[in-house]
Amino acid sequence: MRTKIYKINSDAVDLGRIREAAEIIRNGGLVAFPTETVYGLGADAQNPDASRKIYAAKGRPSDNPLIVHISRFADLRRIAEEVPGEAERLADAFWPGPLTMIVKKNAAVPCETTGGLDTVAVRMPKHPIALALIRESGRLIAAPSANTSGRPSPTLAAHVAADLEGRIPMILDGGEVGIGIESTIIDLTEEIPVILRPGYITEAMLKKAVGTVRTDPGILSADSGIRPKAPGMRYRHYAPKAELVVVDGEREAVIQRINDLTERMQAHGKRVGIIGTDETAAAYRGDVIRSIGSREDEEAIAKHLYRILREFDEDQADIIYSESFATPRMGQAIMNRLLKAAGHQVLSV
């Protein structure tokens, strides 16, 4: 299959191209498109065959449910068995935006889309291309991140093409995404809303909107022995080809330790990659050194993480050492992804 790749200007969306993409969705096909978090791989959420195509293209386990993307709040009522009061308050505060809500589903949503669960994940994205595609298709769009299962989520259309070119009919290229890590997921089917995946919308922000909120203990630490509730959070995601080790501590001690480890590895003929920051990159002596951005700018750190992990796959590092990025606001979301990529290998110095 030849994959059409269309560049679309997010500030002046070319509706002709969007209509062509919408036609593919209506006919049960797949279109990759940008959202404000990461690129998604979209299909008609109410067409079981279309959902199956998503799983096949990604190589995704069929028990890992998809997020249904909508363009107006009224569509939540069309697919939810009941819309809890919190959903309205959260939508007022954060939709369109990087928040996914889990609610009880009704019969309008096929089990193929929800991995057999009786709940459904719903999000109204903010990206103008995503919203235009949903509206023009006249459908609800099921979309996981547009990567091959197990690879980092795509933050550029080139990442989507690297994973899926030849397997899907169309990629809408809207340039680099704004946030760079996937949406926050909040489960509204329990007594107290539960965060199943941390993201740009933090626990503090959610509490302000709905009062009490808790975080799924399954995502807080690797060795808690508690299974995360979101099926996708149980898999070892985002694993780079090289071994990845996070080194945590005071800045100077981290630099010293990473340089010591680097010297030892290089003496064994190993090629060493390092993930540092604008402030520290010059102090390292690895073979490939990448700065994730300034430590003062946590939004840049979130936005660059997946691209940097992908870049290391290209240049054949044997081992990668990364600084830790437990930044004040998005630190939990960033470290959740980084630690998963590292298989929870952390050295504290």
Pairing type for strands 184-187 and 194-197 reads antiparallel
User: Contact positions toward ligand TXA, by CB under 6 A?
Assistant: 35, 37-38, 40, 64-67, 100, 102, 114, 117, 119-121, 123, 125, 143-145, 182-183, 185, 196, 229-233
Please choose which of ligand TXA, Mg ion, none residue 198 contacts, taking the beta carbon within 5 to 8 angstroms, the exact cut-off set by kind: none
Amino acid at 265: M
Q: Tell me the CA distances in angstroms from 171 to 60, 98, 154, one per residue in order.
A: 19, 21, 12
Interface segment toward Mg ion; rule CB under 5 A; list 67-75, 139-147, 190-198, 274-282: 139-147
Q: Looking at beta carbons only, is 13 or 247 nearer to ligand TXA? A: 13
- DSSP states of 199-237: -SS-HHHHHHHHS--EE-GGGT-TTS-PPPSSGGGGS--
Please choose which of ligand TXA, Mg ion, none residue 35 contacts, taking the beta carbon within 5 to 8 angstroms, the exact cut-off set by kind: ligand TXA
Residues forming beta bridges with residue 105, ordered by sequence position = 80
In angstroms, the CA 27 to CA 233 distance is 31
Q: Give the shortest CB-270-to-Mg ion separation in angstroms.
A: 30
Q: Looking at beta carbons only, is 180 or 240 nearer to ligand TXA? A: 180
Q: Looking at beta carbons only, is 70 or 255 nearer to ligand TXA? A: 70
> Torsion over CA of 23, 182, 158 and 13, rounded to 10 degrees?
50
Please choose which of Mg ion, ligand TXA, none residue 25 contacts, taking the beta carbon within 5 to 8 angstroms, the exact cut-off set by kind: none
Q: Looking at beta carbons only, is 160 or 247 nearer to ligand TXA? A: 160
Q: Give the shortest CB-75-to-ligand TXA separation in angstroms.
A: 15
Residue with tokens 């509206």: 135
Per-residue mark of binding to Mg ion, 88-127 (x: CB under 5 A) = ----------------------------------------
Residue nearest to ligand TXA (CB): 232
Please choose which of ligand TXA, Mg ion, none residue 34 contacts, taking the beta carbon within 5 to 8 angstroms, the exact cut-off set by kind: none
Q: Give the shortest CB-240-to-Mg ion separation in angstroms.
A: 16
Q: Give the shortest CB-145-to-ligand TXA separation in angstroms.
A: 4
Asked whether the beta carbons of 99 and 201 are under 8 A apart, the reply is yes
Would you tell me how many other CB atoms lie within 10 Å of the CB of residue 270?
15
Q: Looking at beta carbons only, is 161 or 230 nearer to ligand TXA? A: 230
> How many degrees, rounded to 5, is the angle at CA 128 between CA 126 and CA 131?
75
Q: Give the shortest CB-31-to-ligand TXA separation in angstroms.
A: 12
Q: Tell me the CA distances in angstroms from 168 to 24, 45, 54, 117, one per residue in order.
A: 10, 17, 9, 26
Q: What are the backbone angles phi and psi of residue 338, rounded to the nearest 5°?
A: -65, -45
Q: Which of 145, 277, 280, 327 binds Mg ion (CB under 5 A)?
A: 145
Q: Give the shortest CB-65-to-ligand TXA separation in angstroms.
A: 3
Q: Give the shortest CB-147-to-ligand TXA separation in angstroms.
A: 8
In angstroms, the CA 313 to CA 152 distance is 11
Rg (Cα) of the chain, in Å, rounded? 20
Catalogue the E-assigned strands of the chain.
4-7, 31-33, 40-44, 67-69, 99-104, 119-123, 141-142, 170-173, 184-187, 194-197, 214-215, 243-248, 272-276, 288-291, 319-323, 346-348
Q: Give the shortest CB-213-to-ligand TXA separation in angstroms.
A: 16
Q: Looking at beta carbons only, is 251 or 344 nearer to ligand TXA? A: 344
Q: Looking at beta carbons only, is 173 or 323 nearer to ligand TXA? A: 173
State the residues that interact with Mg ion by CB under 5 A.
145
